[in-house]
Amino acid sequence: MQALARTVQASDPELISAFLGGSEAAFEELMQRYQDRIFRLLSRYTRDAMECEDLAQEVFLKVFRKLHTFQHDSQFFTWLYRIAVNTATDHLARRSRRRLHLVEDDAVLDTGKPRTEAVDVSAPLMQRELAEVTRRILDKLPEKYRTILVLREYEDLSYTDIARVLGIQLGTVESRLFRARQRFKEALLRLHPEHSPSRGGDR
């Protein structure tokens, strides 16, 4: 109990060391620390709650098996995010190969709407609609553009962290993010001009 109390305030490297030393409580603490973020991240790739949980479980089981290979030259969460993104994109690729595409958006809207951490029932309808429109466009973007937008816009990762998660150069992050935003903007303008931002000097 004392050991568990100690791990509550422990840093990630300390928890990792404790887990590698045989402490399941340390691993549980790591999961508790990151499970909300991983669920939120995976929610950008699936609209099904059970599928999301299965993916999250797959992610943490991979972490459980591979944690001994973690190099401490980067933060644990970027390593964890890399596993989560790879798991999600592999899942999408498998699903695509099996031709089990996502249910049509309109049908999903009625039945599979994701729960939210704190559903704001007073949120203006326009805002919720905009969030849904954004989601639909992201679903249609090429995977690499969707992922980089998710990491930057939703997860608020720095360019450096994105580079670590995706295993790409910093310059590639910048250019890919730019292209992703351009693609997103074009799709928004084409499909939902009512939600398009002001044009100004932007293209």
Partner 1 sequence: MTPQLSDQDLMLLDRYLDGELSPAQATSCNARLAAEPALRAGLQARADLRRPFRVGVGDGFVPRPGFAGRVLASARRLPVDAGGEAAAGAVHLCKRILLIAAAVFAAAMLWQSGVFTGGADPSLQAAPDEAQRIVDDLDARVRERAAGAARK
Residues that bind partner 1 in the complex, under the rule CB under 8 A: 24, 27-28, 31-32, 35-36, 39-44, 49, 52-53, 56-57, 60-61, 64-65, 68, 114-118, 123, 127-128, 130-135, 149, 152-154, 158-159, 174-175, 177-178, 181, 184-185, 188, 195, 197-203
Q: Which is nearer to partner 1, 95 or 192 (CB)?
A: 192
- Smallest gap from Cβ 86 to partner 1, in A, equals 17
CA 34 to each of CA 12, 43, 146, 156, 185: distance values in angstroms, whole numbers, following the listed order: 11, 14, 22, 15, 31
- Smallest gap from Cβ 25 to partner 1, in A, equals 10
- Smallest gap from Cβ 28 to partner 1, in A, equals 5
Phi-psi region of 71 (alpha: psi -120 to 50; beta: other; left: phi over 0): beta
Q: Which is nearer to partner 1, 99 or 164 (CB)?
A: 164
Angle at which helix 24-42 crosses helix 76-97, to 10 degrees, equals 50
- Smallest gap from Cβ 153 to partner 1, in A, equals 4
Q: How long a stretch of residues is the chain?
A: 203
Q: DSSP states of 39-97 as a string?
A: HHHHTTT-S-HHHHHHHHHHHHHHHHHHGGG--TTS-HHHHHHHHHHHHHHHHHHHHHH
Q: Which is nearer to partner 1, 90 or 174 (CB)?
A: 174
Q: Which is nearer to partner 1, 5 or 118 (CB)?
A: 118
CA 88 to each of CA 23, 25, 52, 65, 173: distance values in angstroms, whole numbers, following the listed order: 28, 26, 9, 18, 19
- Smallest gap from Cβ 43 to partner 1, in A, equals 3
Q: Which is nearer to partner 1, 193 or 197 (CB)?
A: 197
Angle at which helix 76-97 crosses helix 12-20, to 10 degrees, equals 70
